[in-house]
Amino acid sequence: TVIIFFLIQTVVRNFRVVGTSMEPNLHDSQYLIVDKISYRLGEPQQGDVIVFEPPNRPGEDYVKRVIGVSGDMVEIRKGQVFINNEPIDEPYVVYPGSYSMGPRRVGVYELFVLGDNRNSSSDSHNWGMLESDKVVGKAWISYWPPDYWGVIPRDAPSASATVGHLLETLIPQE
């Protein structure tokens, strides 16, 4: 039992969302399972939802979305995010930012992360790049409350990936 426990703890971890920075996709007090192994085998990709230790709050964990990866030039113009001078499609953002940010290059072993609820998020537009070694893992599954059961999608609103949404699409509503 002890060996299984430690094996599981090295591969996954649970995480409780605190705050509204990822609304409406992730909610305050929602519980997630975080995959801690994926980024040992590969690199975070644009759109991934990750859990990490922020540079301005050691000992705490945040959850945000990866927007820029190593080598990307990130800029925000009146809430619209541009990567390498091209606007990106963000179907998961309902509350865009009301701010602008000049171009910033994402360095080697760095990420640029933003919350989905842009104006209510402490993220890279405030405190700069996130060092890759601060990443705990990839948010993988929502398991509590039951209304939000499902996978955490990379490029779509979380509501579209819940078990409830799947059942609604499979069972016609009258």
**Residues with active-site annotation:** 21, 64
Residues facing residue 33 across a β-bridge: 14, 141
Q: Could you please report the per-residue DSSP string of the chain?
A: -HHHHHHHHHHEEEEE--SSTTTTTS-TT-EEEEESSHHHHS---TT-EEEE--TTSTT--EEEEEEE-TT-EEEEETTEEEETTEE---TT-SB--S--EEEEE--TTEEEEE-SBGGG--SHHHH-PEEGGGEEEEEEEEEESGGG-EE--SSS-GGGGBHHHHHHHHS---
CB 57 within 8 A of CB 63: no
Nearest residue to 50 via CA among 73, 26, 79, 72: 26
